[in-house]
Structure 1
Amino acid sequence: MSAIRIHPPTTALTISIKHLTCNPNNLNLFSTNSRNFKRSGFRRNLTPIAMSSNPLEVCAKSSITVPNRLGDCPFTQRVLLTLEEKHLPYNLKLIDLANKPEWFLSISPEGKVPIVKLDDKWIADSDVITQTVEEKFPEPPLLTPPEKASIGSKIFSTYIGFLKSKDPNDGKEEALLNELSAFNDYIKENGPFINGKDISGADLSLGPKLYHLEIALGHYKQWSVPDSLPHLKTYMKTVFSLESFTKTMPLTEDVIEGWRPKVMG
């Protein structure tokens, strides 16, 4: 079971996860035995892994709607998904980004999350963090082949463009639909995941962004992924139902409130 410890002086929540286990104003666009896990109809064969001797330290955005809950940063969820899929234990410290504690600013002067402590060094940026984790803990592998790493990479930026758009005729919706359609066609021929039958880092990066897309566009635009893109919808359902995803996903209310400044601004 997870042990939860609250530290009032730092306004941070620490969660020790034992089992295998954003800055909202600056969204950057750019051991155990082998076993089988059954998830959404897919079975993954997991190889023995070299466990981290000590839990990793992870600083993440806290919920702005419910106390002591993980917040809505998709880049942080990407990092947590990576740790979960690699079954690495970690201590999660939740940071109130509206009232950052001094100890946090001392390790993250720009006040950004996620930030992870690896080998006594704090590392920022989800790209750098996940790459470092992959190098240090290569099993099970999550590396995406270079030729597939950019699949779906433009979806998030076009989603933001459409979400912020005030003009229904500016082509932002069409641009998003073009990206989603291209991804739908790719998954149709190459799925169920971006790297075929095996989940990879590309899925762990794209999944949280699609989750935000679904919630925010549904709330602010009354828009949903069209039924004409069935393979994309199946992909989203598969990723969102992963145990690692349900364990790390933000509350719907936090996603909505997290995007409000972007929409209303």
Structure 2
Amino acid sequence: MAMAVAPLEICVKTSITTPNKLGDCPFCQRELLTMEEKHVPYDMKMVDLSNKPEWFLKISAEGKVPVVKFDEKWVPDSDVITQTLEDKYPEPPLATPPEKASVLEDYKARGTQAAPYLTSTFYIELSETKDLVFIRGDVVFTSKLTDEEAKWIMETAQSFYLNDTRYKLLER
């Protein structure tokens, strides 16, 4: 029987309009998403950054969020926190799997000139056969998708392209 992991303590920004709700800090959201993805239990402590409590200033000298408590030490900086989470909880890994890296690298290399890519992971989940559906240029090859899945993809992609008629979205 596996031992239960004690929840990590994380201080995050509270909403300025709705008390006791998560605020709009992308750095805090990044850490919470990372913990969720890695199935790491956590105890979220909301901090009103416009009225920082004394206890918070003792653990975060600069008064910034997020901060996470690892092994009795409070760690600031979302990059450091993310790397620490990756080191302490390596599964599932945050890195892009090699089989998907070529699509990502092609998109990065071509930048805004590239036709938007949706990741293979997304399509694996949609495909009944779980085969990859590859996207090349501005055509989505959907031979492994059902008609219903292809229709949904077409509608989603069409809204992304803002009904731009220059792109042929689906080829069956």
TM-score scaled by structure 1?
A: 0.40
What is the letter of the counterpart of residue 78 of structure 1?
A: R
Structure 2 portions without partners, runs of 5+: 126-158, 165-172
What is the letter of the counterpart of residue 10 of structure 2?
A: V
**Matches of 1:134 and 1:55, distance apart in 2:** 16
Q: Which of the pair is proportionally richer in helix?
A: 1
**Matches of 1:129 and 1:100, distance apart in 2:** 21
* Counterpart position of 1:132: 84
* Counterpart position of 2:10: 58
Deviation at 1:144, TM superposition (A): 3.4
Aligned counterparts, 1:67-82, within 5 A: 67-82=19-34
**Matches of 1:187 and 1:51, distance apart in 2:** 41
Aligned counterparts, 1:185-200, within 5 A: 185=115, 187=117, 191-192=119-120
**Aligned residues: percent identity?**
56
The structure with the larger Rg is 2
Deviation at 1:197, TM superposition (A): 6.2
* Counterpart position of 1:121: 73
**Matches of 1:225 and 1:105, distance apart in 2:** 43
What is the letter of the counterpart of residue 227 of structure 1?
A: L
What is the letter of the counterpart of residue 74 of structure 1?
A: P
Contact residue 134 and residue 143 of structure 1 kept, 8 A: no
What is the letter of the counterpart of residue 29 of structure 2?
A: Q
* Counterpart position of 1:104: 56
Give the one of 162, 167, 171 matched to 1:227.
Answer: 162
**Matches of 1:185 and 1:134, distance apart in 2:** 31
**Matches of 1:51 and 1:83, distance apart in 2:** 18
Deviation at 1:96, TM superposition (A): 0.2
Deviation at 1:109, TM superposition (A): 1.0
Aligned counterparts, 1:20-99, within 5 A: 53-99=5-51
TM-score scaled by structure 2?
A: 0.60
Structure 1 portions without partners, runs of 5+: 1-30, 32-49, 153-177, 199-223, 230-265
**Structure 1 vs Structure 2 CA RMSD:** 3.4
**Matches of 1:51 and 1:62, distance apart in 2:** 32
